[in-house]
Structure 1
Amino acid sequence: MRDATYIPHPLAVYAGNPLIETLDIMKYPEDFEKVIAERPSIPDDIMSYDPFLATGLIGELEDTYIPHPNAWHMYKQFTQQIMAGYRKKNPAALSGKRFLNNIVVQCQNGSTVEVEKFFGSMSGTTLCSLATGLSGTGKTETVRRILRCIPQTYRHRVYQGETLNFDQLVWVSFDVTSSNSLKGLAMNFYEAVDAALGTTAYQDEYKLSENVDKHISNIRKICARHYIGLVHIDECQHLLKRIGNPNNATLDHLESLFNRIGVPMLTTSTPEGLRLFFDQDLKNAKLQSTRRLISHNVLDFSPMGRESIFYSSFYETFFPKNVFEGTSILSESFKNDVHYKTFGLQAIAGHLMRLFFTALQANPKYQEGEHCFELLDKIYAQHFGATALAINDLRKHKAQRYEAERALQQQAEAQLIALEKSQSKRGQQSRTNHSSRRGPKMAQAAGLWKLAAMDKRLANIIDHQPLLTGFAEVHK
């Protein structure tokens, strides 16, 4: 955690506010590029390395990050949201002190109506954004990497001779649970706050057994005490699950938790999540939700274009010229083949290229002539069977079906993890005199597959009135 240092702000609207004057914001895109980009260096002679050593070096490509073309623009947008949210929460001003005292006291008393009436005038206008895109387009990674370029915590003690005593949490990022439980959402929030502050206080203090209203008050108090400047909520498409259940989170809950008390929000979701903001199709907007939660910007994450500079930079990072100069791997036809197989989705393209690189290093004969195409086909057929079917759905404007296939793969991975944990616990369980004591019941594989199948059936129904991704014509 950084100790707060203050630089007077040149704009009168922000001057004299310690929350803003301590922010370390980059002013030039060149500085931002140096911080956010991550491009591992591959040795020229890696093809002659021992396969075991080479695999470790190639594995470093997993951490590669090529900045999204709009990353600098998004960084400026996020910092603007944060500063705008801090305008009326100045802890060095009487209004800011009144803001903090009222929310802590009223939330402690379990009040909801009074809080919302009070903050309607105190919090001012907050800027909220939505980032949307298909799974694999890098929206979550991009958003979180940009946020990590903004220092997250500051410790305030004295400002202009006045004693302050609080830890400022500039931003926090967490997920909507896959089961869409409001209590689970709250626990994810507590965990993210503790991780940022380096504590376990909130996870220990607030229990899952508390009622929903108590969690809402707790979250609001934390936002006020630590002057949270921006909340990023990921996987918002899960809010569509079991709508109408009072125990599940909704878009209105998110708005009530953060937006109504003056905390800017950034939500991210797949294209299916857009149905939270629209009634039946993209022509019928839910005006209130749209006005409040997309009040600032809508960030669209598209697959990499085949002819784009972004894709060329991405491709050359995984297949560097210093290693593959003079081979068919750098040919346009091979580059186009990789793009076609992966639909230009970053996560899938990166995975395919890493596997190909590893296999090629162990079998150099495929580097000769056009044999690299043969190796690429073998790897794609062996490792990307389900993905290939999902990508074919994308080419038919079936974004929801693609997401369902991805969910099915994730459920399969969850099944393996659950079974491994279950077997591990069986081996570690100790016997007691009370034979009736048993370990917690684990989710069975059949149940996990059933959930995935339900998601897939829902996708097939939705696809009768599909959300057009707008990418299919470009990526045929």
Structure 2
Amino acid sequence: MSDFSFAPAEYSPTGMPQYDGNPLIECLPRILSDIDVVRRVGNLPKKPDDAERALEPKLRGHGINRMKDIVVPFEIHLRLEDLFSQLIRYGYTGRNPLLASTVRYRLPSSAEVRGHGFMSSAETLTLIGLSGMGKTTALNSIARLYPQVISHSQYKEQIFIETQVVWLKIECPHDGSLRGFCVAFFAALDSALGIEKYSRKGAAGNSISVMLQHISQLCKTFFIGALIIDEMQHLCSSRGGQDREKLLNFFVTLSNDAGVPLVYVGTNAMLPLFSGVLRNARRAAGMGPIAFDRFSEDDPFWAHLVSQLWAYDWTTSRAPLSDELLSKIYDLSQGNTDFLAKLLMLAQRHVIWEDIDSITPAVLQQVYDNQMRLLHKPIEALRSGDPLQIADFEDMMPTKDQIAQMMNYDLARRADRSHLSLLTQASIAPVSEYEDKDAPKVASRPLVPVEDGVVKKAHFIKEKDVQTQLEQHGWVDKDATW
């Protein structure tokens, strides 16, 4: 069943000419100011008082779990809310249900749809974040600013009976399979609508192509405002890459033909998905990617976040947050919000169980050594700052470093191809074409083998394999791969 009840449509003009006159937009909540976003996105549960800290240890242990519900909004939350607001509203400008082109575009018959004049206004928002940095929590908080389902009955004295799904969130299947995606979509739609109808379309007997057609049509039928696709990095593990390419192509089709805005969410490990095909990269960069990278130690937002969490202290003797403690906390969490929350929660439980007065740097180190062993390798990699160590954990690498690594790989691949091209040219062209007596001598290693400043000349035999002859001339390592 859905977590959200149907909200009856109430229409209010926005003051923006491209929005007004469109019931799908006028029924949405008003566009929020930054102050309203901070108040509504942030979540600070009740802090423990003296009476709660005087309870027996077992009860205080239950109170520590309230720290999991803390959401401290930052500037990146404001930017994300602003772009999500624009994504949904502008995506509806091309799907005004009062226009004849929209009525025709919703027809299930492809023959009737051709030439209907529909122009998609859908954009794509990409949310990239290190594992544990709270990107999914932030997006969930922002999506909940909107009713998930809105029921229309009448608009400006016109009968207008429609069910509008403002947003729909699904997770990529763990194996990145097309069938798994289809099943997840139908289940999410049923959950939003509070019914058990469309999940049956994911039965094993239905072909994938038919299910994809159903998904496209349902997106049109329910005017889905934004399709949020979480855990996109799972597509990188799909077998053979065939389902991955088909699914990415289907996302493009949804955006173009169904006019559905997309929100890609995942760790930095998903970046290679968009490095090979231009239209995928172009779509992913539609509204500019938002990156949830870890905090630096001197970031004032980091100190603010730690101080907010530090106020939730269930120990009997509350220790003030000193510079020494702040430094130790960063060293053991490396600016990752999930590591931070785990460290503080485990430390409080340790203090309560062992009947220690308060949290100290020594207590934090002991908790890290004994109870966070599984996280030692990624944390030590982050602490080292060595890109090679961090690269062992793709979902921990900062976004800019991940992109730089992809670019370096592409440049190396191009250099290899250029090297092979020069080798081949040198073997068939006259020496005079490569020899420049007036050119200054270059000390760096040349791309092709030289002898006394002149490119070695070689004659290839057509009947023999080129690779074998290159190896015989010593121009390429036989173990090298191109």
Distance 1:399 1:223, change over 3 A: farther
Alignment map for 1:16-95 (pairs within 5 Å): 16-45=21-50, 46-95=52-101
The CA distance in 2 between the partners of 1:174 and 1:156, in whole Å, is: 24
1:375 partner letter: V
Kindly state the Cα deviation for residue 17 of structure 1 after the two structures are TM-superposed. Answer: 0.8
Runs of 4+ displaced beyond 6 Å: 321-327, 462-467
The CA distance in 2 between the partners of 1:129 and 1:351, in whole Å, is: 30
Q: More deviation in 349-358 or 305-314?
A: 305-314
Q: More deviation in 231-240 or 321-330?
A: 321-330
**Residue pair 2:324, 2:361 contacting (<8 A) in 1 also:** no
Determine the structure 2 residue equivalent to 1:419.
none
1:43 partner letter: P
Alignment map for 1:314-463 (pairs within 5 Å): 314-320=305-311, 330-367=321-358, 372-394=360-382, 395-397=385-387, 398-403=389-394
**Residue pair 2:123, 2:255 contacting (<8 A) in 1 also:** no
The CA distance in 2 between the partners of 1:40 and 1:74, in whole Å, is: 23
Determine the structure 2 residue equivalent to 1:2.
7
The CA distance in 2 between the partners of 1:188 and 1:154, in whole Å, is: 22
Kindly state the Cα deviation for residue 374 of structure 1 after the two structures are TM-superposed. Answer: 2.0
Kindly state the Cα deviation for residue 400 of structure 1 after the two structures are TM-superposed. Answer: 4.1
**Residue pair 1:272, 1:400 contacting (<8 A) in 2 also:** no
Structure 2 counterpart of 1:277, from 269, 274, 278: 274
Determine the structure 2 residue equivalent to 1:105.
109
Structure 1 residues not aligned, in runs of 5+: 280-285, 407-458, 468-476
Distance 1:313 1:118, change over 3 A: farther
The CA distance in 1 between the partners of 2:317 and 2:323, in whole Å, is: 12
**Residue pair 1:25, 1:79 contacting (<8 A) in 2 also:** no
**Residue pair 1:169, 1:227 contacting (<8 A) in 2 also:** yes
Determine the structure 2 residue equivalent to 1:162.
158
**Residue pair 1:304, 1:345 contacting (<8 A) in 2 also:** yes
RMSD over equivalenced CA pairs, Å: 2.9
Q: More deviation in 61-70 or 203-212?
A: 203-212
The CA distance in 2 between the partners of 1:173 and 1:154, in whole Å, is: 16
Structure 2 counterpart of 1:126, from 113, 122, 129: 122
Deviations 1:161-196, CA, capped at 9 Å, x for gaps: 222222100111111111111110111111111221
Which structure has the larger Rg?
2
Determine the structure 1 residue equivalent to 2:250.
253
Determine the structure 2 residue equivalent to 1:455.
none
The CA distance in 2 between the partners of 1:298 and 1:464, in whole Å, is: 17
Distance 1:208 1:320, change over 3 A: same
The CA distance in 2 between the partners of 1:463 and 1:386, in whole Å, is: 28
Distance 1:160 1:11, change over 3 A: same
Deviations 1:28-50, CA, capped at 9 Å, x for gaps: 22222222111122233244321
The CA distance in 1 between the partners of 2:49 and 2:141, in whole Å, is: 29
Alignment map for 1:179-194 (pairs within 5 Å): 179-194=175-190
- State TM-score, norm by structure 1: 0.76
The CA distance in 2 between the partners of 1:328 and 1:463, in whole Å, is: 45
1:13 aligns with 2:9: no
Q: More deviation in 166-175 or 393-402?
A: 393-402
Distance 1:229 1:387, change over 3 A: same
Distance 1:244 1:180, change over 3 A: same
Deviations 1:120-169, CA, capped at 9 Å, x for gaps: x5133321121112111111111121111122210011112222222100
- State TM-score, norm by structure 2: 0.75
**Residue pair 1:170, 1:227 contacting (<8 A) in 2 also:** yes
Identity of aligned residues (%): 24
Describe the SS at the equivalent of 2:72.
coil
The CA distance in 2 between the partners of 1:226 and 1:327, in whole Å, is: 53
The CA distance in 1 between the partners of 2:315 and 2:307, in whole Å, is: 10
Kindly state the Cα deviation for residue 321 of structure 1 after the two structures are TM-superposed. Answer: 8.4
Kindly state the Cα deviation for residue 87 of structure 1 after the two structures are TM-superposed. Answer: 0.9
Describe the SS at the equivalent of 1:297.
coil
The CA distance in 2 between the partners of 1:19 and 1:148, in whole Å, is: 17
1:91 partner letter: P
